[in-house]
Structure 1
Amino acid sequence: MSTLSWFITGTSSGFGRTLTEQLLARGDRVFATLRKTAALDDLKSCYENTLAVAQLDVTDTAAIRRVVKEAFERFGKIDVVINNAGFGVAGAAEEATDEQIRRQIDTNVIGSVQVTRAALPYLRAQGGGRILQLSSMGGQLSFPGLSFYHLSKWAIEGFYEAVIPEIAPFNIQVTLIEPGVAPTGFGGENLSRTPVMAVYEPTPVGDFRRSVAAGAFSTTGDAGKMVAAMIDSVSINPAPKRLALGSDAFDMIGAALVGRLADLYNQKAVALSTDRVPRTDPF
């Protein structure tokens, strides 16, 4: 197995930390970024020759460009760029503060977009590479109480739908990672809860809050197995556009897609009737 070099954002915990651990254990090189670098001191002491660590807040575009440049200069080549840093807002859309909305979009959408944009010139110059974008099953379906989180995931998936064919001629491939629920610690400092409006307590948003508080959402996914599947996906050519991870992701994404197709075909007659010359199909 050849040694690869990886650039990963958001490595202090969760998938980012597990990715870093598994990659270093197999002998790869990792340029890990995070907001508080001390969180990786234990790994740095064990892998001083294969782990580089840099402070990065992905809401700082100037810092993204500087750190991405540093990473390519440090390793000479980056085979895989992983956009993993994430943030979530939980609560009704009306309840969220302007600051929460801005941070949600700045972290999950603009941060990932700017890391990708910063890396593309280097990936093109070296003849190609891979990008893994952490999305979520929440990039294909949605739950009341997570509207702004879903906004960010659906937005980043739409971004890559257009970017993938743009960069394909340069041998740069992308996989959108869509995990289900896993014990990654996402409910800590990376999840911001909105102020509570009493009017939403008897609604699905209130039901969602109570379910979260009661621990009713089972974590069916194994984070270590999910990370191993992410790493393995890099050896698949052509790259899978999407990688659903976990039985909950598989089942719920499938049901959402089937439902959307049914809605579309139920509107077929109306859609065809609005052409300049209306078209009719036999079925």
Structure 2
Amino acid sequence: MSTNDSTNDSTNDSTNDSTNDSAAAKATAEADTPAVFLVSGASRGLGREIVKAALEAGHQVVAGVRRTAALDDLAAEYGDRLVAVALDVTDDEAARAAVRTAVDRFGRLDVLVNNAGYANIGSVEDVGFDDFRTQVDTNFLGVVRLTQAALPVMREQRSGHVVQVSSVGGRMATPGLSAYQSAKWAVGGFSSVLAGEVGPLGIKVTVLEPGGMRTDWAGSSMRVDPIRPEYAGTVGAMAAMHSPESTAASDPAKVARLVLDVVALDEPPLRLLVGPDAYAYATAAGRALLAEDERWRDLSRSTAADDATPEQLDPLGHAQ
């Protein structure tokens, strides 16, 4: 608000107080307005915990599941604030239909949580190509499908938050998880590009990168393919993680609450490691990658043309 030069200090103070009160009231009203969530992979594990946490916080949720009956207990408790929809993230029309349900039932879509995913263990040599393709389709292309379906709504709103439940495996390489981790690396790259495109439109993007959680991800949900003796020391080590959920570091209920904390931030992180093990693994992998880059720095730079300009030799202006 602007005031003319003749406005006295008293009027300025009154105007400022009124403006501040109005802004505070608006912020309070916005905070009290339920957000609309769409969560994929919501029948169990982390997805279900996110649905529960959002409902407990007073929000409205469209929960994507294979069988809608899986959420009958939550539907009975929370009534019409929860809508369970059959959602196969490898199905284009199912992705679009889930977004339409959010808009038709609740009038908008504020938070998309791409959570659906799974992994099987096997060597690159032995993993079936159909299995590899299905893992990538679910863990990466499913993210793309739902994100593309949600973006027109969020773009029109000029607001929204896309939350990708990725993995610390998107920052490291573990023998035996080639399909899964390839997809998670792709999610990180895709989301970084997405953030640059939609940030000016008021849409936020966050990639959550958890380590181990106390769900059945590494238990009954994971298949271990036969391992050749030659890969016993590499792929076999990963297969040893096919273990009870109680051995994992993070509590999925706490991770779900973290999701709500992140979407409440005005400036959320683009990528967030989740769990003490995730932080340890990812930072170690990052240091190792940087060390390798530095080790081979001169060889990397040896391809410069003889007439390369200083700007071409150092486009960021900080080479040593």
TM range (shorter): over 0.9
Question: Please, which of 60, 63, 77 is the counterpart of residue 46 of structure 1?
Answer: 77
CA contact (8 A) 2:218 2:241 kept: no
Letter of the 1:8 partner, please give it: V
Q: Which amino acid aligns with 2:284?
A: A
Q: Tell me, yes or no, if structure 1 residue 242 matches structure 2 residue 278.
A: no
| Residues 213 and 17 of structure 1, relative CA distance in 2, 3 Å threshold | closer
Tell whether 2:31 aligns with 1:31.
no
Task: Specify which of 70, 88, 98 is matched with residue 67 of structure 1.
Answer: 98
Structure-to-structure mapping, 1:146-157, within 5 angstroms: 146-157=177-188
Residue pair 2:66, 2:88 contacting (<8 A) in 1 also: yes
Correspondence list, 1:177-192, <5 A = 177-188=208-219, 190-192=221-223
- CA gap of 1:22–1:216, structure 2 versus 1, over 3 A, is closer
For the residues of structure 1 that align with 2:319 and 2:129, how far apart are their CA atoms?
A: 50
Alignment correspondent of 1:254: 283
Deviation at 1:215, TM superposition (A): 5.6
SS at match of 1:82: strand
For the residue of structure 1 that corresponds to 2:265, the secondary structure is coil
1:231 to 257, 260, 264: 260
Length-normalised TM-score, structure 1: 0.93
Partner of residue 167, structure 1: 198
Contact 1:86 1:190 in 2 (8 A): no
1:84-111: CA deviation from partner (whole Å, max 9, x where unpaired) = 0001121111111122112101101111
1:207 to 234, 237, 255: 237
- For 1:147 and 1:172, the matched residues in 2 are separated by 31
Question: Per-residue deviation at 1:57?
Answer: 0.6
> In the alignment, is the contact (CA less than 8 A) between 1:6 and 1:31 conserved in 2?
yes
Q: What is the Cα deviation at residue 264 of structure 1? A: 0.9
Q: Which structure has the larger Rg?
A: 2
- Aligned counterparts, 1:116-135, within 5 A: 116-135=147-166
Shift in Å, 1:282: 8.4
Which structure has more relative contact order (CA 8 Å, sep 6+)? It is 1
Shift in Å, 1:145: 1.2
Q: CA deviation at 1:73?
A: 1.8
Cα distance change, pair 8–271 in 1 and its aligned pair in 2 (3 A): same
Task: Check 1:184–1:44 CA distance in 2 against 1; reply closer, same or farther (3 A cut).
Answer: same
Residue 135 of structure 2 aligns with an amino acid whose one-letter code is Q
Q: Secondary structure at the match of 2:143?
A: helix
Distance 1:6 1:157 in 2: 21
Code of the residue aligned with 1:160 in structure 2: it is S
Letter in structure 2 aligned against 1:204: T
Cα separation, 2, equivalents of 1:84 and 1:208: 22
Matches within 5 A, 1:79-158: 79-158=110-189
Structure 1 residues 214, 156: CA separation in 2 closer, same or farther (over 3 Å shift)?
Answer: closer
Q: CA deviation at 1:190?
A: 3.7
**Displacement of 1:191 after TM fit?**
2.2
Could you tell me how far 1:119 is from its partner in structure 2? 0.5
| 8 Å Cα contact 1:96-1:195 kept in structure 2 | no
State the partner residue of 2:23.
Answer: none
Q: TM-score, normalising length from structure 2?
A: 0.83
Q: Is the 8 A contact 1:183 1:222 kept in 2?
A: yes
Q: CA deviation at 1:31?
A: 0.6
What CA RMSD, in Å, does the superposition of the two structures yield over aligned residues?
2.0
User: How far apart are the structure 2 equivalents of 1:216 and 1:246?
Assistant: 15
Q: Which moved more, 1:57-66 or 1:112-121?
A: 57-66
Q: Which residue does 1:220 correspond to in 2? A: 249
Whole-angstrom distance in 1 between the partners of 2:319 and 2:161: 44
Unaligned runs of 5+ in 2: 1-30
